[in-house]
Amino acid sequence: MEGGVSFGLIVGISLGLVIGVVLAISALCCFTYHSKRSQIANSASRRTATLPIRDNGADSCTIMSDSTLAPDSPVKSSTNGRSLWLDGFTKKSNVVSASGILEYSYRDLQKATCNFTTLIGQGAFGPVYKAQMSTGETVAVKVLATDSKQGEKEFQTEVMLLGRLHHRNLVNLVGYCAEKGQHMLIYVYMSKGSLASHLYSDKHEPLSWDLRIYIALDVARGLEYLHDGAVPPVIHRDIKSSNILLDQSMRARVADFGLSREEMVNKHAANVRGTFGYLDPEYISTRTFTKKSDVYGFGVLLFELIAARNPQQGLMEYVELAAMNAEEKVGWEEIVDSRLDGRFDLQEVNEVAALAYKCISRAPRKRPNMRDVVQVLARVVKVRHSRKRQKMSSSPYPCLPTVESSGEQTGNRSVRSENYRRDNSMESSIVED
């Protein structure tokens, strides 16, 4: 009897162990199964967040190239490698970078620039092309020269800086491309080109004195924003006429932030960077670039606007000779661009030249800040408009614009009308400010 009980006990224990092992294996399988399901669900949610939204089976944005995306990205293009279209708009799956600027594909820009044949400029960074996007927007594409080592750093600087800088007097960055070994920056297209081209190219009519003052005020406002509006403040470090671009309405914007630095970071540089002739002497000797260094460059630019002569043409020597005969706000008319043929306001010339001379003081502490510069230039423009209103109110025909010189040719009518529209636009903007 005892033998039977022992046998039954052994059998029961054995069965219990077998059942326990089976249950343990089953539990392990269930845990593994649910774990995989959870991973799949998480992967699906990430894919959903990254994939373009679909309407009736069509992508609302177009995937142009797999190589635009990170290797492990779940976003892929169509199987035949071609882009997808919706309502005639090419909308690549723009990847929003950490800077907040949209990334475009190489193929997108290749098509928009007719295979990079629409060259409109050439700088130290590389060539600049005009691009007609499929959306109808016209942009400028700046391509980093492949042999430019410093350009790589400047490319990263511009993307990161312009991702957070937004002002009507700065050239806005639309997007960028970093693909196929190429680095490109996409900007709003400035149809009137650079200030330098208008000052020195025979293709353009000479800028009127009025326009030169408006351009100076636009640039000053852009720099004031960089110095006092941006957080942290930004120092441009390369203010010059070729880095000032003009839009269809001849409004000026500051461009080319490749050498820019946030004021709190990297104030010291081992090598002198910038354009000789515009460089602050204090910076050259100390290698320390400050806001007042930008003020110096702006002072040189003001004299460039007055004289239509750049530092490579002996501008600063020309200015110093004039300063020996000038007394603060008197006597600066001898350096005025001869192409203006006397069509300028003498009081304004002297006031602006005196301001410019303060900006290029060798002692940085004696230079005004950009906020003070803006106030002086804005006051010049306001006084001008006050005089014009008084003159028009006293005229028997107040609705007719006055002609500055009876010797002007008919061919300049379009220039005068453009200036007249610009005057009205500037007056309204001054009232707003």
Contacts of 351 (CB under 8 A, 6+ apart): 329, 376, 380
Question: In terms of C-beta distances under 8 Å and separation of at least 24 residues, what long-range contacts does 316-321 make, across chains too?
Answer: 316/277, 316/360, 319/356, 319/357, 319/360
Residue 62 Ramachandran class (φ > 0 left, ψ -120 to 50 alpha, else beta): beta
Catalytic residue numbers, as ranges? 238
Residues 6 or more apart from 396 whose CB is under 8 A from it? none
Nearest CA-CA partner of 364 in 294, 261, 314: 294
CA–CA separation, 163 and 161 (whole Å)? 5
> What is the spatial distance between Cα 272 and Cα 147, in angstroms, rounded to a whole number?
20
Buried b (16+ CB within 10 A) or exposed e, 63-72: bbbeebbeee
Distance CA 114, CA 92 (A): 18
Residue 246's SS3 state is strand
Place of tokens 């002497």: 281
Residue found under tokens 């301001």: 355
Q: What is the DSSP string of 55-92?
A: ETTEESSB---GGGS-TT-S----TTSPPP-BTTB--B
